[in-house]
Each structure stands twice: as structure tokens, then as C-alpha cells.
Structure 1
Amino acid sequence: MHDDMRHSGVTGLTITYRDSDYTLRCVDSLLKEGACHVLVVDNSADGGKTAAELKEIMRHNPAATVLVTDRNVGFARAVNLGLKWLDENFPGRLVCLLNNDARLLDGAIERMRAALQQRPEAAIAFPTVDNDGVATGPLHYNSIFGTIHRKKAACSMPYATGCCMLIDPSKTGIPLFDEDFFLYGEDVELAHRLGPERYVHVPETLVWHAGSASSGFASDTYEFNTVVSHWLLARKLSRSRMEFALYLAGRAVALPARALLRSWRYRSPVPLKAFLAGTRRAIEDMYSAKVERVDG
């Protein structure tokens, strides 16, 4: 199938949650930059409203497809579903994963593809991103405290955000992301699992990103899922019980401090309430995981 598009080695993938306007601009930028086909995974769980809007506008464009999930399955699982669909329908292609509230700038795909070709051991290329005026390249995650830094710091590991990645599925395998993560943190776990040698950074600003357009900074969704992911990363990144205990202790200090600072910054009780709710959920999840290991 798709014989007229066999010349291109790149497909596009984006995940949407009740936001057709941003998503359409994202799809247009992927196609403009040379993606032979773009898959939109609709994670909206809104009775098909968003999917219907997207399908209506894109009905005359055979180079775009909308895949609707039966519920909001989270970002990690939605990406894995999209990669599986693309592998089945466009096998052997690189995949440009792009946040639906982002758009590619001129030459983005070609520069990332060239970077992968120059580094045969690399499986993922990622560019510098303009986060609404702030240039962001590789970030560094402090494993002990669960803090994120723009520069290398002690006890930190580099990672690429999931905002934009050019992925070679033949090297990463499918599924790509750990589906224990619902929203946020899956990119850190992936970097930990693959290792820095599997990434190549293109030090050019090739993507513009609105920044949390779907979830919203200081919103319930953003704050809650961020807290849950930080606690989950303590388990995923630790290599021993001692490390796990250290990472938990670090987060027990850092996460409430983060919530207090963000509540003050945004003049909102949401970050504090989300810290309590997210911590409670994380404890429940850790207990469930322990029970599963015992039962297994």
C-alpha cells in the first residue's frame, strides 16, 4: 500500500487530547517537512467529538489518518499504539514523534535524519526546542531528588523530552515507552533504559512548542501526573533497595517543597492538593506492584 509515497523514509506521529486546532497545525508542519504519512492518535475520550472534527477537516488528505482510542490510555500507551500502527502500515520507516502543540521549523526532519545517519549507534535524534521563547536542548534529571536541570548536575542523567524525537523503531523496538507512566516521566525512563549513546542531539532550534497546551501548567492534570511520575521514577531508576530508599527520601523532601513553591508562584492551592493526591496514588501503585511481584 501507499506505493506513491515509497520515496519518503519518515512518517509522523502525534497524540491529541481534545485539541483539534493545535493538532491540525502540527499535522501540517509534519507533512510540509516531508513526512509521507501522519498518524494522529486521538486520546480524547470525548465520544468521538475531536476525532470527528479532525476527520472532517482532513477528509481530502490521504496522507493523514486518525486512530481513536476507546478511552484516555495515557501518552506512553498512545505512542506505542501509534508506533505499532505505523510499523504495520509503513514498515521500515523512521517516525517523527511530535507533540500536538508543537510544529516543526524548516529543515527539521532532514537535519535529524542526517544526524542519525552520522551516528549509526544512535536510535533517536532530537533537536533544540523553542519552548515559547526558551531554547531547550538536553535536560538532566536528578535521580535522588527528582528535579530537572538545564545543565549537567551531580547525580543527574541526560534525557530528551518527548516533545520531538526522530525514532528508528528497528533500533528501539516497539513498544517504545513504559506504559506504567500515564503522563510525564516516560521520556526519563526511556533515556535510562536506552543509555545516552543511543541518542543524538541536533543543536539547532528546529521545533516551536507552545508548552503544556493540552494539560496546562498548574492544572490538576499537570500537577497530579507530574507528582505520580516522580514517585514512579524512584522505582524505575533504582538498581537496588538502598538506591530506592535514597530516591524515596530525596523526593520526600523535594516534592512537597516543589508543591509549596508552585502554589505560591501561581497563587493556587492546586499544586499542594495535587502533591497529596499524587503521593497517595503513588503509594497505592507501589503497594499494588509489590503484591503483583509476590503473587507472581
Structure 2
Amino acid sequence: MYQITKDAGQQMSRTAVLTVHYNSIEDTKRCADSLSVLRDIPLLVVVDNSSQESNVENALVGYPNLEIIRSGENLGFGRGNNLGIRWILSNTDCEFIFLLNNDAIVKPDTIALLEEAMDAFPEAGIVSPRIVFMENPNLLWYGGGSINWYRGKGKVPGYLGPADTKSARTHREGTFISGCAMFIRRTVLEQVGGFDPRFFMYEEDLELCLRVQKAGWGLRYVAEPKVLHKVQASKREEGDVYLSPRDPRNPSLPFFMYHMTKNRLLNMYMHARGMNALRFLIGFSLFLVMDCVRYALAGRWDALVSASEGFASFVSGRNQVCVTDVEKTFIDT
């Protein structure tokens, strides 16, 4: 199913960094370069998600503590990470696993500060740094998050606003952490498993957050450590202008609408109860109608077709059993 290229050193830090690579070698190299200058260079596990590129090893040859895992097929974000998590849990004793998008880079003190936060808040199962746009670090991409039950998605106060507001500078608990930079306790993953394999891309991070909280763990945003994120790098070429996934001009809009529709419905079907379920039914229906009108006016009929296909996929697969036991979740089937 997959191939491992063994190249890791024997010295292990407290944290292993895991990133999923897909046809964006310059981004992955930039990410690795930012880790290589840290005082304690962490183990870096790269899952090559069946990229068309064949030079991953050559591009990362200078990194001193490296594992490359070849998936053999494009597993998507969640299952790709599960493959790396499985290897880390089986082959290392690290305390923390830092899930980091390959189009992101860390500041020199980021990992040390996240480790300090975990030590200071033992009830926290996942912590996250402040995330800013790589192309404009003054803009906030993530500064703490909560669940928007009306939309069935994560909500980030101050998103696309100034990155240095009082809210962005404030440590706090939350209910949503972005999969772009998830710093997770090993014991949490051993307890609840990894990402739900039914989520190819989008909303898998929210589902994991909900499951972690149901298991009794907290989520916490830590303001001091920073990550710079290129954003949607796997969906655009170097130098292209960033477009929101929902933008009618986005060439990948059908892909987004399919997975967003299916995964939000599946997520809320599993986790929303009582008033939260009612909020979602009302809000999601309203916003979906608004999206359909917007895309019809823009001539994006392909997006409407994809949304209907996503709904059909949810209906047909909503009652499939997802095994969350750690030994079974990470088996890629």
C-alpha cells in the first residue's frame, strides 16, 4: 500500500512534525528549511501523497532527521495524515505530533512555545499557534476558533483582519483548531484515533476537534508562536492570486462544493444534537440556497452539480461505521 524511505536519525525530540506533500515541492522544501534552523531539529515525517513529482528525497536531502512515506495513491488530507500518524506512533516515543501544512513555515521558537503550552495546560489535547498569511503576515488566518453551528464549520474571529488585534494576542480555550497547524498530544491520538477516513478534504479538522472534546480534552489557542501559511497551495500555482474556495472565479470551486456539502452534512449528522442540529438545518439550508443563486448568476453550473453530488454521497454513506480505535483507524482501506 505504501513505501517508507528510512532516513531518520536516532535522536528524538519531544515533537514529531508531520506534513502531507502533494505536487508542491518548493512549498515542502520551504517548510523543511524553516524546521532545520531550530535549536532542536524535530523528526520530520513527509507523506508523499502520490505526487507526480519524483524528486522529494533530492529536495529534502539536507534535512537531518527525515522520514518519507509514499502512499501509493492520493489519500487526501485526512488519510494522508493518518498514514504518518500511524508510523509515528509505531516507531517513536515522541510526546507530541505537530500536523503542519506543507505550505506553511514556522518561526524559530514556535515548537518550543507550543511544548511549553502543553506543559502549562495538561488538560489541553490540541493547541494551535497564531497563523498568518505568508504573503502578508499582517493579515490573520487563524487566531483561535469556535464552531459555527449554523454553518457547520469552524469560525475564526478576526479572519482576514489585522494579525495583531487584542483577540489575536489573547490565549484562550476554543472549540475549533485548524488542521493547518494542529499540535496534538500523543495520548489523545492513541485514545480517539486520527481523522475520519470518510473526509477526503475539508471539515476533517472540525470533526476531529469535536471527537477530542467528547473524549474530555480541551482545545487551546496560544498567541505567541506563529506559523506563516501560503494558503491553498495545492490548488494554485506559484504566484497566483489567492481566491477563497467559495469564490465563483475559483477553478477548484466544484471540488470544494462537493466535499464541503458532503462533509458538513456528515459532520453535523454525527455530532449536532438538539438546538445545534436545528441551527444547522436552518442555517446550512439558507446559505446553500444563497450559494446556488450566486453561482447560477455567475454561470458556475458545475459547482451546483457538484453540490448535488456531494449531497447524494452523504445520503448514501451517512450510516457507514467509522472505526475510531487507533489500531484500525490508521489502516488505509
Specify if TM > 0.5: yes
- Determine which of 17, 23, 36 is the counterpart of 2:22: 17
Return the alpha-carbon distance in structure 2 between the equivalents of residues 288 and 150 of structure 1.
29
The alpha carbon displacement at 1:74 in A equals 1.4
Counterparts of 1:164 and 1:177 in 2: how far apart (Å)?
14
Deviation at 1:274, TM superposition (A): 2.5
The alpha carbon displacement at 1:53 in A equals 1.1
The answer for the alignment partner of 1:276 in structure 2 is 305
Question: d(CA) in 2 for partners of 1:2 and 1:42?
Answer: 16
Distance 1:233 1:203, change over 3 A: same
In structure 1, the residue matched to 2:177 is 160
Q: 1:60 to 1:230 in 2, by over 3 A?
A: same
2:19 corresponds to which letter in structure 1?
A: T
Unpaired segments ≥5 residues, structure 1: none
Q: Is the 8 A contact 1:130 1:207 kept in 2?
A: yes
Which residue, 125, 129, 146 being the options, matches 2:152?
146
Over 3 Å counting, the alpha-carbon distance change for 1:222 and 1:277 in structure 2 is closer
User: Are the aligned partners of 1:122 and 1:199 in contact in 2 as well (CA < 8 Å)?
Assistant: yes
Deviations 1:145-196 (A, max 9, x none): 33553339xxxx7301011122112133263211221101011112212229
Unaligned residue ranges in structure 2 (runs of 5+): 1-6, 159-173, 237-244, 322-333
Task: Note the C-alpha offset of 1:4.
Answer: 4.2
Between stretches 274-283 and 229-238, larger displacement belongs to 274-283
Q: Decide whether aligned partners of structure 1 residues 121 and 246 sit closer, same or farther in structure 2, where only a CA change above 3 A counts.
A: closer
Sequence identity of aligned pairs in percent? 24
CA distance in 1: counterparts of 2:257 and 2:219, whole angstroms: 28
**Residue type of the partner of 1:182?**
F
Distance in structure 1 (CA, Å) of the matches to 2:257 and 2:318: 23
Cα deviation, residue 42, structure 1: 1.2
Match of residue 330 from structure 2: none
Distance 1:17 1:179, change over 3 A: same
1:255 and 1:275 in contact (8 A); partners too: no
CA distance change for structure 1 residues 84 and 206 in 2, over 3 Å: closer, same or farther? same
Which runs of 4 or more aligned residues in structure 1 lie more than 6 Å from their structure 2 counterparts after TM superposition?
Answer: none
Whether contact under 8 Å (1:128, 1:203) holds in the other structure is: yes
Give me the TM-score of the superposition, normalised by structure 2: 0.74
Return the offset for 1:70.
Answer: 1.8
Following superposition of structure 1 onto structure 2, how do residues 138-217 of structure 1 map, counting pairs within 5 Å? 138-146=144-152, 148-151=154-157, 158-173=175-190, 175-195=193-213, 197-204=217-224, 206-216=226-236, 217=245
Asked if the contact 1:98–1:164 (Cα under 8 Å) also holds between the matched residues in 2, the reply is yes
Are 1:231 and 1:279, in contact at CA under 8 Å, matched by a contact in 2? no
Counterpart secondary structure, 1:5: coil
Matched, 1:256 2:261: no
For 1:149 and 1:4, locate their aligned partners in 2 and report how far apart those are by CA, in whole Å: 40
The structure with more helix, counted as a fraction of residues: 1
Who is 1:71 aligned against?
A: 73
SS in 1 for 2:208: helix
- Match of 2:131, SS state, is strand
